[in-house]
Each structure stands twice: as C-alpha cells, then as structure tokens.
Amino acid sequence: MKTIKGPAIFLAQFLGDQAPFNSLPSIAKWAADLGYVGIQIPTWAPNMIDLEKAANSKTYADEIKGIVNEAGVQITELSTHLQGQLVAVHPTYASMFDGFAPANLAGKPKEQQEWATNQLKMAAKASQNLGLTAHVTFSGSLLWWFMYPWPQRPAGLVDTAFTELAKRWKPILDAFDEAGVNVGYELHPGEDLFDGITFEMFLEKVNNHPRAGINYDPSHFVLQQLDYAQFIDFYHERIYAFHVKDAEFNPTGKQGVYSGYQGWVNRAGRFRSLGDGQVDFGTIFSKLAQYDYDSWAVLEWECAIKHPEQGAKEGAPFIESHIIRVTERAFDDFAGTGTDEAFNRKVIGIQ
C-alpha cells in the first residue's frame, strides 16, 4: 500500500485582486502558512501561470517550480476546467460560456473549440515540463440538455454525441500520452461525463485510452445520490486525482435532487466546507489507501455559507488528519511462524 500525498489546495476559488490572492508567490506562501504542502494551479489565470510559455519553455517552467518551492509547497496538478468545458458545448449554453474564452472569440463556438483544444495540448506539454504526472479538467457537454428529456431522445442521439465527444478528445488524450501525463476528468453534473456509466461510455469510445481517467470528487456524487464509496471499488484503477470536497443532501417534501431552481444556500443538495457536510471521508481515504492511490488529496473549497478563508484554514488539518500512513507489516506478524513448505504440508496433513 501507498500513502496519499497532501494536504493540498486548489487555488481557483481563492484568487482575487488583493494580496495574498493576486500573485503566485504570495498565494503559494499563504497556502504553505496554512499547512498545505501542495497547490493545484488554474491555468486560465495569467497571474498564476502563462500556460503557453510553460508549454514552450522548460526554463520558465523551472522558474514557476522554483517560485512555488521557495514558498514551501509544490505543484500537484494543473487545471483546465474552463478550457475543457469549451471542447464540447451545446448551442443552448454557448453564449453563457463566452467568458471562458478570449473576448475576441465571443460568439464563435468553432473558434472557441479550437482554442480550447490547443489550450489542453499546451497543458499536456506544460505538465511535462513541470514534472507532473496528472492533470484535471472537465469533459464539456453536448448532451446535458437532454439529460431528462421530454419529448424522448431520438434513437441513437446518445451514441452520436459520445462518438463526437471522443473524436474531439482523442487527439488531446494522445498529446497527454506523449507527455506522459494522465487526465482526470471531474465527473460533474453539467458535463457529459458525470457518473460511472457516462465515464464508461466515453472510455469505450476512446478505445480505453490509458490516459483517460477520473478526478474523484465525492461531493458531486452526494448531490446525485450515487454511492461514492462503492464508486472507488469500481474505478480505482482510473482515479488519477482527488478533490477533497464536502457536500450534503437534505431533501424535503418540496424539493429533491433538482432543487427547484433555488440558489446554493436553499438547495436540498449543496456543497459545504470540509467537515460541515455528510461525506464519509474516513471510508474514502481508507479505500484509496487500500487501492494504492498515491497521488494528491486536494481541497476544492465551495461553500455558500462559510467564508473561504475559514474553509481553507480548516481544510489543511482536516485532510492531514485523514491521510493514512499505511502500514508496512501486518498487525499479527508477531505471531507468525515463518515460511517453510515442509511445515505447511505437515499442518494440513500432507505427508
């Protein structure tokens, strides 16, 4: 068994215009001072990293690593959640995603897709230059509009959409394979990959591509009422990254999973700061240790109630307390009698 790395923190939800949240050196030091040993960097934030430069210059990548290491942390993964979303966008949502791409591409979905694809390929190379082995992202979606359809979906629609999704992602996955980096898709409502079944459908379409994996985040499974612990039993070999995020689901006689178009505070299912929700992290960390997950445990903070700085402060010790230092020997080794074939045969009555 192997010991999980951490605690680490995803920086996206903490970025701002004021120090220490407005530059990589200062936010890295802030994270280190809170007890984090790793940071996950959003690549769409130019004050954190120049993705193109990191992809094309090993010297620049080393400078970024140096800044982070000097602050007392290391980079866990790069994130392209916003860019990954644009790899596949249904026209219904196109205008709402304009802000995820450069302003000059607004209203140009084809150009946005090409830009996003190039961003992902650069992220593969940048990850390689930084010495990283995993990456986190979204799949994008062509089908979410049809998740609970009326009228019924046309025959073959799902297959057509997943074929197209795979067609768009296959060259990206190949680029990550060339760079020696795994891709962890965050299985997330709103994306075409949102649970185990949809991940399997995608995996089949990309011919079980070895780099296609999962950024495991139990919070999204709580909101879907999916067994997030058994999920690990099914898919542990494809879990390449781990977002430690809490959530709760409190249905009433008025609302359930779909939550009646309410804002986050008033939803039956909502994300919470670590320890304030219902996720059984003891079981999760135990299962991941059992299955030899040895990458990072990364806090992703999203809570509509608690202040983010309090959530970040509480997150590091919470994760640290759940990381299991795995044992190198069995608890009953003291009673062992050694290995001897002749003795074993005698014990079971074989002459």
Closest CA to 212 of 175, 243, 248, 244: 175
Q: pLDDT tens digits for 203-220?
A: 999 999 999 999 999 999
Are residues 301 and 245 in contact, defined by beta-carbon separation less than 8 angstroms? Answer: yes
Residue 126 binned pLDDT confidence (cut-offs 50, 70, 90) = very high
Give residue 198's pLDDT.
Answer: 98
Instruction: Decide if 17 contacts 299 (C-beta within 8 A).
Output: no
Cis before 46? omega within 30:
no
Domains plus CATH for the chain?
A: 5-347 (3.20.20.150)
Cα separation, 79 vs 91, in Å, equals 24
Q: Judge whether 124 and 175 are in contact, CB under 8 Å.
A: yes
In this structure, are residues 72 and 108 in contact, taking their beta carbons and an 8 Å threshold? no
How far apart are alpha carbons 291 and 208 in whole angstroms? Answer: 20
Q: Return d(Cα 324, Cα 316) in angstroms, integer.
A: 14
Residue 59 host element (H or E): helix 58-71
- Angstrom CA distances, 49 to 29, 58, 127, stand at 16, 13, 12
Predicted confidence (pLDDT) per residue in 79-103, tens digit? 999 999 999 999 999 999 999 999 9
List, in order, residues 6 or more apart from 67 with CB less than 8 Å away. Answer: 24, 25, 28
CA distance to 103, 119, 131, 163, 184, per residue, from 286 (Å): 45, 35, 28, 36, 20
In what helix (H) or strand (E) does residue 298 lie, and over which residues does it extend? strand 296-299
In the prediction, which pLDDT does 334 show? Answer: 65
Look at phi and psi of residue 159 and say left if phi exceeds 0, alpha if psi is from -120 to 50, else beta.
alpha
Report the pLDDT averaged over residues 162-187: 98
- How much of the chain is helix, strand and coil, in % rounded to 5? 50, 15, 35
pLDDT in tens, 34-80: 999 999 999 999 999 999 999 999 999 999 999 999 999 999 999 99
pTM of the full predicted structure? 0.95
DSSP label at residue 299: E
